[in-house]
Amino acid sequence: MLSIRRTYSAHCLEHIPNPDSALRQFARLLKPGGHLFIYAPNCGGAEARKLGVRWGQMIGEKHVSAFTAEFFHRNLPKYGFQEVQFVSSPYSSRPQKYEAASLEGEELLVTGVRG
């Protein structure tokens, strides 16, 4: 079986109706200690909360899933990912734990390490 050290998803997960299958595949493909990097629209950011369904990135025809940092914080450990960290645009700081991160930007970067 192929086993890799890093996997990267940039603005793909929000287009998949069932992200469970993709997250399971990331965990399956990564070696223990391998790194996961996910970029996605930040549906919990300030602009998304303010505009709601009028927020351009949440157009349902193209983005069938709306992710927040809380979603990844709660779910990535279920797939075996540890050290889950976050940063949102603008990317002026290093990724931080969910509780410490300022996540108001329009885009999320989520990182995790496969246990």
CATH topology of domain 4-88+109-114: Rossmann fold (3.40.50)
Total Cβ atoms within 10 A of residue 71: 17
What ranges do the domains of the chain cover?
4-88+109-114
pLDDT averaged over every residue in the chain? 90
Asked whether 69 and 39 are in contact (CB, 8 A), the reply is no
Please report the pLDDT score of residue 61 as a whole number: 65
Question: Quick one: pLDDT at residue 107?
Answer: 94
Beta bridge partners of 40: 108
Per-residue pLDDT at 36 exceeds 90: yes
pLDDT in tens, 9-30: 999 999 998 899 999 999 999 9
- Quote the pLDDT of residue 55: 82
| Region at 18 (left for phi over 0; alpha for psi -120 to 50; beta for the rest) | beta
Q: Tokens in use for 24?
A: 């399971």
pLDDT of residue 108: 95
Beta bridge partners of 9: 38
